[in-house]
Copies of this chain bind each other. A is one copy, B any other.
Amino acid sequence: MVTIKDVAKATGVSPSTVSRVIADNPRISLDTKKKVRKAMKTLGYHPNINARNLAVKSTKSIGVIMPSSANKALQNPFFPEILRGIGSVIHDVQYSMSLSTGETEEEIFEEVQRMVYGSYVDGVILLYSRVNDRVTSFLRERDFPFVVVGKPYDDINEVTHVDNDNYKAGQEITKHLIELGHKKIAFIGGSKDLFVTMDREAGYEAVLNEAGLENCEDYKVHTEFLKSGGREAVERLLFLDTPPTGMVVSDDLMSLGVLSTLEELGYSVPKDISLVSFNNVYLSEITRPALTTVDVQIHTLGAQSAKALIEKTQNKSEPAKRIIIPHKIVYRDSVSRRGTL
């Protein structure tokens, strides 16, 4: 390994000078800088990160914590996409990202501990948000920089997070259905203790009430990440006395399952039933029919969270922020107009 000393020797200067050249210190003459840089190049010098980190007590690396992967949720294309978003800014500022790998909540917690105690990373991005989360408490106690993607459960004003306005999104997409003449609209969401679900659902309800439409519990189903297309959930809806004509599904991947079940049961989308959902991952444009869905700009979500985190690591007194990424509805083919009945 070629070190700073080798470069120094080759150039006939001192190691500290070389160090200063690396930092592009203005008090070094252009001449020596050039000399040194040339030597670095020919010798193939590259700074040793660990040594630098040790010296400056920073790692220029951030940790990304995925939700526990007990279920299939991780196969949601949402994740690679958000990683890309994070990656894009990470790359620009020459940081690196360290991915959590735990399967269980316990494992994840251990890993976060290692990350912060071991000075692996300068900050952490949480790709989930859960009630009573040990990780969050831990991070807050230690006053360790972190941001969450989504809506934090506790002390929402004190943890910076980047999120969509899921309430509004829920309203808009539901309104879209109503404007097309739908009066019986159901909501299919994931686990009830996910804020995304709750917010989107709240928006849905608000619009229903406002429009004076039926807003009954029967029309709302929550299922764990959909196994076998969430068959039971969908069936329950369809076997009601007055089944819905429209469905608001809280995730594209879920929609795929719902779509399948629906058509298997002999319902045609959008002819018999209209369906809208959220996220706009790639697959929502290759389903049949292609999904009308709200684009939450996953990539931006990731990018902004990284940006916010880095700011925070660089300036600890940066105040907690809430960053709302705008969404927009992408109109495709999963909805149709209802004759006024």
- A residues apposed to B, CB below 8 Å: 1, 46-51, 53-54, 59, 61, 64, 69, 72, 74-77, 79-81, 83-84, 86-88, 90-91, 94, 96-103, 107, 111, 113-115, 117-120, 226, 228-229, 253, 256-257, 259-260, 263-264, 281-283, 285-288, 290
Contact = CB atoms under 8 A, between A and B. Distances in A.
* Residue from A61, A88, A263, A282 having most chain B Cβ neighbours under 10 A: A282
Given A49-B120, A72-B282, A91 B84 contact: no
A84 B69 contact: yes
Contacts of A48: 54, 118-119
B101 A90 contact: yes
Given A75-B282, A96-B101, A260-B286, 20 more contacts: A46-B117, A46-B118, A50-B50, A72-B282, A75-B80, A75-B283, A80-B80, A86-B101, A87-B101, A94-B114, A96-B98, A96-B114, A96-B115, A98-B98, A98-B99, A226-B286, A256-B283, A256-B286, A256-B287, A260-B290
Contacts of A88: 101, 103
Contacts of A285: 228
Contacts of A115: 96
30 contacts: A46-B113, A47-B118, A48-B54, A48-B119, A49-B120, A50-B50, A50-B53, A61-B98, A72-B282, A74-B84, A75-B80, A76-B77, A76-B80, A77-B77, A79-B80, A83-B101, A87-B99, A87-B100, A91-B101, A91-B102, A96-B114, A96-B115, A97-B98, A97-B99, A98-B98, A226-B286, A253-B282, A256-B283, A260-B286, A260-B287
- Sort A-B residue pairs by CB-CB distance and give the 9 closest, nearest first: A87-B101, A46-B117, A260-B288, A75-B77, A75-B282, A49-B118, A257-B286, A50-B53, A50-B54
A59 B46 CA distance: 16
A115 B49 CA distance: 9
A145 B5 CA distance: 26
A195 B117 CA distance: 43
Given A47-B118, A117-B46, A264 B288 contact: yes
A120 B88 CA distance: 19
Contact of A99 (B83, B107, B117, B118): B83
